[in-house]
Structure 1
Amino acid sequence: MEELNLSDRLRLIAGLIKKGSKVADIGTDHGYLPIFLVKSGITDRVIAMDVRKGPLKKAEDNTRAFCVFDQIELRLSDGLAALEKGEADTVTISGMGGRLIQSILTNGMEKLDKSTRLIVSPQSELREFRIFLKEKGFLVLEEHMMTEDGQFYVIMECVYMGADYAPQTIEEAKLRYGESLLREKNESLKAYLYKEKRIAEGIYTQLSARNGQEAAVQERLGQLRKDLDCIDFALEYYNFA
């Protein structure tokens, strides 16, 4: 094999991964995406997992053919089962229906750290899958749509905000800071957010140091926590390149 024939869909997914990421590719099939990520210098190591032995053996053959066998760790795994918490900061899942991806994420949620990136391309049940993401603490930052070989594909860039993440924070942040400004990663807004965060954290620290449990102080601390959650949510747009 002299040239890797990567589909346009997988190239789009690869282009969404930040350089230097620790990637776990779920349902890797023949390992084309991990091979491309390593060969193109996007990352120097990938965990490639599949539930089937046949495709995983083919992926092994391909990694040897492209001389990246020592940089791609192949694991037989049902979804995220063989992944240890903290091993990956970016998870890719594609080529499956929405319900199957939903099942994989539900069964492996404990393997994800807060701020784990999820790049996913469900092939069906899109409406239900979007609802699932919101309910389970995933923030969808961007969606991309393309056609290939007569088929339509949606690729979602998401970040895991944590099980205690409140979906209403999304709408509050958009109202406060402007959805279009957030999506374009406006640099002036970014500076403003960091300024507001420093101010809120300073006030929070001062109030927390007070003795007593005055109702007014506790109410103000609660509001500051909500403000900081909202700011942190907004800053995730900038963290996801």
Structure 2
Amino acid sequence: MNAEKLSKRLETVVSFIPEGSRIADIGSDHAYLPCYAVDKGIAVSGIAGEVAEGPYQSALKQVKYSQLEDVIAVRKGDGLEVISPNETDCITIAGMGGALIASILEEGKGKLEGVSRLILQPNVSAVSIRSWLLENGWELKAEKILEEDNKIYEILVADKGEPEAPYDNMESELLLGPFLLKENSSVFKQKWEQELKQWKNIIEKMKKAEDSPELKQRKAQIQKKIGIVEEVLDEKR
């Protein structure tokens, strides 16, 4: 993967960037995504944000190599610290846990002024992001699920505006994704079969552990999720 040829995962993220956007890619790593989006004429400018020194240096090198220093700024900082209000209209955050992405958005709320689209690719716990969007005036517009190199990724796209549909059955749709549920792809089924297996293994291990109030609560949470997913998969068979 490089700035000329992105992974399928990042290419899918880029496909949701509105043409003419000023983008900010948070946790940009090598800055491949902003370089690609600007180079292809999708975005007019970019900010690559990185908190760690190594990836920050890699991003600087890549932007220089791509000769895009005049349109892509590489900035070091935590989360949305690297942007100012009204400086960008589309934010991408890819390759982190869903809970971390949600906390980055929560902590950087003041920086979201002027942003009309969020494109978020969590590695785990997309439910944390869906919940945050719902509570903070962002409407989920699209979702994609894909497999690449034996890993399954979800991509969530949200626009600023009071969430209307798509939530009919809040609990299952927040967990599994309203659009992904409707689409019911083979990758979607594969993901949740894998999750079920893991959760059931965890429950088995918990049975052998000493019961504490925390453990009971955790067990109840997992069993609830197992119930939701099993019901959905049974319906979709």
TM-score, structure 1 length as denominator? 0.65
Amino acid paired to 2:96: M
The AA in structure 2 aligned to 1:6 is L
Q: How does 1:141-220 map to 2 (within 5 A)?
A: 141-161=141-161, 165=162, 167=163, 170-171=164-165
Shift of 1:128: 3.0
Q: Measure how far apart 1:82 and its partner are.
A: 2.3
Is structure 2 residue 14 aligned with structure 1 residue 14?
Answer: yes
Report the counterpart of residue 32 of structure 1 in structure 2: 32
Q: Find the counterpart in structure 2 of residue 48 from structure 1.
A: 48
Larger radius of gyration: 1
Cα 1:28/1:143, change in 2 over 3 Å:
same
CA distance in 2, matches of 1:72, 1:32: 11
C-alpha RMSD of the superposition? 2.5
Give the partner amino acid of 1:136.
N
Separation (CA, whole Å) in 2 of partners of 1:82 and 1:96: 17
Percent identical pairs in the alignment equals 36
In structure 2, the gaps of 5 or more residues are 169-177, 180-237
Equivalenced residues, count = 170
1:186 maps to what in 2?
A: none
> What residue identity is the alignment partner of 2:125?
E
Measure the CA separation in 2 of the matches of 1:172 and 1:48.
32
**1:129 aligns to 2:129 (yes or no):** yes
Deviation for aligned residue 1:2:
9.2
Relative to structure 1, the CA distance from residue 85 to residue 140 in structure 2 (aligned partners, 3 Å threshold; closer, same or farther) is: same
- TM-score, normalised to structure 2, is 0.66
Q: Measure the CA separation in 2 of the matches of 1:35 and 1:115.
A: 20
Offset from partner CA, 1:151-180 (integer Å, 9 cap, x none) = 11111110122xxx4x5xx14999xxxx99
Identify if the C-alpha distance between structure 1 residues 172 and 18 changes in structure 2 by more than 3 Å, giving closer, same or farther.
closer
